[in-house]
């Protein structure tokens, strides 16, 4: 079902993708087209351009660039990562339809699937990674399978290949939120995933200064997502699209530094007696390390730890941070530290969080681009209190 190609290396596409206008006098950096509407009289003038439609030149450029990076036919940028998730699900389902989704998901996505979509007559069955559960959950009304790689915030790696095979057998698409890995570390479309979602707020933008989302996939799917977005209106401001394009130009080099720093920090935490468990796919101790080596080209910038002292120890650790910033979100140049019980998974009860591998004392770290030695020194003093 997935159709994709990649014509150049990702680092090159990140810089030059979408910037085709090279006539004399054309700007090297595409300008911000801060206009809501454009001259148009009849269909003879071509496509009607209107920024709410998502086809402002800045929106078109960055959507095409991310599609080229992911290796898909088309892409559309939207006003947030959750807008990307919501518009995709609404575009691919209707009342009476059914979704099968991995149980480990971003809290807002879990709430959308489990609470909001049922109000619209769309039901979801949440399943654990075991393939037998996926097969049992399939119904005649099932219209898509939904996964995250890696899972937020436990950083478990789900093997998408048997899920893709099941989806092909049933002729339904696989939708994957690959925000935590970024296209640098995980080539979702190359494995056969049909629709790839990125919260561009994170690694694609990379500087904690925008809110945006991107959906990439076949032209047919992106047309449907675009139609839905024109009804609901989560279009991306042209200036934000321009900032996103600027951030993407350094994506490849940034991700390599994120990967290196995260590995160094993970190994440091593994050596500390205060830490009960370190979750990082690059560590040999990670339950999915071999799978991560097989399907990913890098292990990412996210590290999660569980402190032995529980929630009190986690609170104390964060209070003593001097370099790491206590804030939600991820993927910026600065290191951000948060507790999912207060942020991404605050809507879940303690028992449910624990069942998902997120006990009190769980700390999620988005490792930035600072010197690894400085980060480790900060974490060491914060652990010591």
**Residue listed under structure tokens 């300008």:** 31
- Lateral strand order in the sheet of 325-326: 275-279, 302-307, 362-366, 336-338, 325-326
Q: Which residue has the tokens 């003593």?
A: 320
Left if phi > 0, otherwise alpha if psi is -120 to 50, otherwise beta: which for 343? Answer: alpha
- Nearest-angstrom CA–CA distance, 335 and 367: 5
What gap in Å lies between CA 72 and CA 74, rounded to an integer? 6
C-alpha pair distances (Å), 166 with each of 131, 144, 161: 9, 11, 9
What is the C-alpha to C-alpha distance for residues 289 and 303, in angstroms, rounded to an integer? 14
Helices (H), ranges, 19-117: 57-70, 81-92, 107-111
Does the annotation count 177 as an active-site position?
yes
Q: Which of 316, 335, 342, 332 is nearest to 377 (CA)?
A: 335
State the catalytic residue, choosing from 143, 156, 187, 202. 202
Contact 160, 187 (CB under 8 A): no
Catalytic residue among 21, 52, 94, 120: 52
Residue 190 tokens read as 């190359």
Task: Give me the catalytic one of 143, 146, 156, 177.
Answer: 177
Cα–Cα dist 305/286, whole Å: 12
Using CA atoms, how far apart are residues 118 and 270, in angstroms rounded to an integer?
Answer: 42
- Cβ neighbors of 361 (< 8 A, separation 6 or more) are 276, 306, 307, 308, 309, 310, 311, 313, 314
The β-bridge partners of 126 are 101
Cα–Cα distance list, 167 to 138, 163, 174, 352 (Å): 10, 6, 7, 28
Pairing of strands 213-217, 195-198: antiparallel
Identify whether 202 is a catalytic site residue.
yes
Catalytic residue among 65, 97, 106, 288: 106
Would you name the residues annotated as active-site residues? 52, 106, 177, 202
């Amino acid at each position: 079902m997935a159709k994709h190609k990649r014509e150049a290396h990702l680092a090159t596409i990140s810089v030059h993708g979408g910037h085709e206008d090279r006539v004399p006098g054309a700007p090297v950096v595409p300008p911000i087209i801060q206009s809501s509407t454009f001259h148009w009289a009849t269909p003879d003038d071509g496509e009607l351009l209107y920024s709410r439609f998502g086809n402002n030149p800045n929106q078109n450029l960055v959507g095409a660039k991310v599609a080229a990076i992911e290796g898909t036919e088309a892409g559309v940028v939207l006003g947030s990562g959750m807008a990307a998730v919501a518009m995709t699900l609404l575009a691919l389902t209707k009342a009476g339809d059914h979704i099968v989704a991995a149980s480990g998901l971003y809290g807002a996505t879990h709430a959308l699937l489990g609470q909001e979509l049922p109000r619209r007559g769309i039901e979801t069955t949440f399943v654990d990674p075991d393939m037998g559960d996926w097969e049992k959950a399939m119904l005649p009304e099932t219209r898509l399978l939904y996964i995250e790689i890696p899972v937020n915030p436990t950083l478990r790696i789900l093997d998408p290949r048997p899920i893709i095979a099941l989806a092909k057998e049933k002729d339904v698409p696989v939708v994957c939120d690959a925000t935590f890995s970024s296209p640098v570390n995980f080539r979702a479309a190359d494995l056969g995933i049909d629709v790839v979602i990125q919260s561009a707020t994170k690694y694609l933008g990379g500087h904690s200064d925008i809110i945006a989302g991107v959906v990439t996939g076949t032209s047919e799917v992106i047309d449907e997502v675009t139609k839905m977005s024109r009804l609901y209106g989560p279009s991306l401001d042209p200036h934000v699209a321009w900032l996103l394009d600027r951030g993407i130009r350094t994506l490849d080099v940034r991700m390599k530094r994120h990967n290196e720093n995260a590995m160094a920090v993970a190994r440091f935490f593994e050596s500390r007696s205060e830490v009960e468990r370190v979750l990082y796919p690059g560590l040999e101790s990670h339950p999915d390390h071999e799978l991560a080596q097989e399907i990913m080209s890098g292990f990412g910038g996210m590290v999660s730890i569980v402190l032995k002292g529980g929630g009190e120890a986690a609170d104390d650790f964060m209070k003593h941070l001097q370099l790491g910033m206590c804030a939600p979100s991820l993927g910026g140049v600065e290191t951000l530290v948060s507790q999912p019980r207060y942020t991404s998974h605050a809507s879940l009860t303690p028992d449910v969080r624990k069942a998902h591998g997120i006990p009190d004392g769980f700390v999620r770290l988005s490792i930035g681009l600072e010197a690894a030695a400085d980060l480790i020194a900060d974490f060491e003093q914060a652990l010591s209190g």
